[in-house]
Structure 1
Amino acid sequence: MIALLMWLFSIAGFWLLCIVTARHRKLFNLNVISSSRERVYKLAGFTLLASGLACTVFMPNAVDALLVWFGVLTFSSLIISGLLTYKRQHKHQA
């Protein structure tokens, strides 16, 4: 259950960090955001990633928990980058 919570925090954090960049917002047809809102999105994204790290406190072994967290981060970033690649390919075909 804790690993699932870490995964959800990581996906949401990486997604927020992803949509801060202009080219990814353009890819998903999102509106331009102000620089102050960009800072808020970045802070929220890093806070969600840190929340995933904070979930490791509830795991019995700290070293194993950190390894799981890094694995979850890697898997989450692969999902986000796969989604971006898929969307980019289908946008060019349309």
Structure 2
Amino acid sequence: MIMLAGWLTNLLGFWLFALAMPRNRKWLIARKFSSKQEKVARNAGFALLLVSLWCVLRTSFIGDAIVIWCYMLTISALLITGIIAFKQQR
């Protein structure tokens, strides 16, 4: 269950990173952010990635946890970029 929470926080962190970039935000949501909102989204995304690392570190040894976390990062990044690419084609 903690691994699922780690993956979901990872996914949400990447989503916030994508929202912090204007070129990606236009494909995900229609509204504009101020520079302060972009900074908050970027910092919240970074914090959520750290929370996901902490969740994974609680379940395994450090060597295994880093490998699992990198796997989660890859899957989350592919999912977010897939969503953006799909919306660009529509």
Give the structure-1-normalised TM-score: 0.88
Displacement over 3 Å in runs of 4+? none
User: In the comparison of the two structures, how many residue pairs are matched?
Assistant: 90
Consecutive unaligned residues in structure 2, runs of 5 or more: none
User: In structure 2, what is the Cα distance between the partners aligned to 1:45 and 1:52?
Assistant: 11
Consecutive unaligned residues in structure 1, runs of 5 or more: none
User: In structure 2, what is the Cα distance between the partners aligned to 1:43 and 1:81?
Assistant: 20
Give the structure-2-normalised TM-score: 0.91
User: In structure 1, what is the Cα distance between the partners aligned to 2:50 and 2:69?
Assistant: 10
Contact map agreement 1:3 1:68 (CA 8 A) in 2: no
Following TM superposition, by how much is the alpha carbon of 1:40 offset from its aligned partner in structure 2, in angstroms? 0.5
User: Is residue 2 of structure 2 the alignment partner of residue 5 of structure 1?
Assistant: no
For residue 73 of structure 1, what is the amino acid of its counterpart? Answer: L
User: In structure 1, what is the Cα distance between the partners aligned to 2:60 and 2:11?
Assistant: 23
For residue 31 of structure 2, what is the amino acid of its counterpart? Answer: N
**Identity across the alignment (%):** 38
Give the corresponding residue for 2:51: 51
